[in-house]
Structure 1
Amino acid sequence: MPEYLWTDRHFDEMSWHDCNVHGLRVVEGEYGAGELILDLDYIVEWLCEAQGCSFRIVPATLRFLEVTNLRLALDYASPGAAMGPFSIHAIERRDEPRERYVAQVWNIAINWPKGEIAFEAKGFEQRATGAPVVSAAQCLRPDERGNHGQAG
């Protein structure tokens, strides 16, 4: 299996559009900061041809470092949605001046169901947890993900 590892230096080359999140963990760290970890199906490549698209997907763990000021909003109730993975629209980051520091503010826009995850973090690391799979769907089946995506 090729090693897939992405960090802050890859941010501008990456897209999380339509990536499905199967698990979310908050891990306590030092001095009130922690980690936000998302288990997701990362779409490495969109393979589009005249007859339609398929997707090269790798199960991955996206870990945000030294997270503070976390806000989560996911609305499964309004659309009457069944519980299942949520889908990312985009991940954005920007620098904002604070009284004693410049914060790196992150926003994860959720396209289904409606929602958003916002926080400050020092950066991220994303690592593949399995082999890439080519699929007609944008979400891997549990047997394609292995034991990954089990937040806990």
Structure 2
Amino acid sequence: MIDLPHGPSGLSKFQWSQDDFANMGWHDCRVHAVSIGEYDDDTLPPARLLLDLDYIARWVSPARGDEHFSFWIAPATLVFEGAWSISGQLGPLHEVLEIADIHQLDAADSSIDPWWHIEGHNFDLRLRAAGYTQFVRLPPRHVLRQSLTLGERGGINFAEEPFA
């Protein structure tokens, strides 16, 4: 039997990287905030793309007689280090941002950094980066909707440390 860090949700670890890409999925994960930050030193490239999101650890099928799924969700920070060639679009901004999928695309030039395409409902981002780290900041909660309230998730946060 596999000893999971959070058995009820099926979450197998609290910190993920591009090495885990094949085992991750972001479909319908709500994005609460996006930040493009810089390093404190002269490191090049200087940008970091950070997403504050609700990571859906597990979709729970409806119980007999119910019609709707429930979800195990945890607030997380997704960080693309050394991001460059960032482009995209947002809008309309009166609706929530949800990820449809994240794609890793091979570089068609001499760069070793792949393209990352964050395809979303109401937004689309493309960037180059060697990889990413995702930090699960709080234990997953079982809820009847696909996102957490700001109170449940502790507000907007770009912390880069897993909760355990």
2:58 maps to 1:45:
yes
1:27 maps to 37
Q: Counterpart of 2:90?
A: 74
The structure 1 segments of at least 4 consecutive aligned residues displaced by more than 4 Å after TM superposition are: none
* AA in 2 matched with 1:82: H
Note if contact 2:44-2:82 (Cα within 8 Å) is conserved in structure 1: no
Q: Deviations over 1:41-98 (max 9, x none)?
A: 000000012412000000000001110000020121xxxx625x41000000011132
Question: Which has the larger strand fraction?
Answer: 1
1:103 aligns to what SS in structure 2? coil
Residues 38 and 61 of structure 1 are in contact (CA less than 8 Å); yes or no, is this contact kept in structure 2?
yes
Instruction: Give the gaps of 5 or more residues in structure 2.
Output: 7-12, 159-164
Q: Distance in 2 between matches of 1:42 and 1:22?
A: 11
Corresponding position of 2:112: 102
For 1:21 and 1:105, the matched residues in 2 are separated by: 20
1:1-150 equivalences under 5 Å are: 4-29=14-39, 30-49=43-62, 50=64, 51=66, 52-76=68-92, 82=94, 85-99=96-110, 101-111=111-121, 113=122, 115-147=123-155, 149-150=156-157
Q: How far, CA to CA, are the matches of 1:47 and 1:5 in structure 2?
A: 22
TM-score, normalised via structure 2 length: 0.79
**1:130 & 1:103 partners in 2: Cα distance?**
30
Alignment-mate amino acid for residue 9 of structure 1: D
Aligned residues: percent identity? 29
Structure 1 residues 103 and 122: alpha-carbon distance in aligned structure 2, compared to 1, 3 A threshold: closer
Please give the alpha-carbon distance, in whole angstroms, between the structure 2 residues aligned to 1:150 and 1:10. Answer: 23
Provide the C-alpha distance between the structure 1 equivalents of 2:103 and 2:142, rounded to a whole number of angstroms. 27
Q: Is the 8 A contact 2:112 2:130 kept in 1?
A: no
Any conservation in 2 of the 1:97–1:103 contact (CA below 8 Å)? no
In structure 1, C-alpha distance between the alignment counterparts of 2:151 and 2:15, rounded to whole Å: 22
What is the distance in 1 between the residues matched to 2:49 and 2:70?
A: 29
In 2, Cα distance between equivalents of 1:82 and 1:119: 24
Please state how far the C-alpha of 1:150 moved relative to its aligned partner.
4.1
RMSD: 2.0
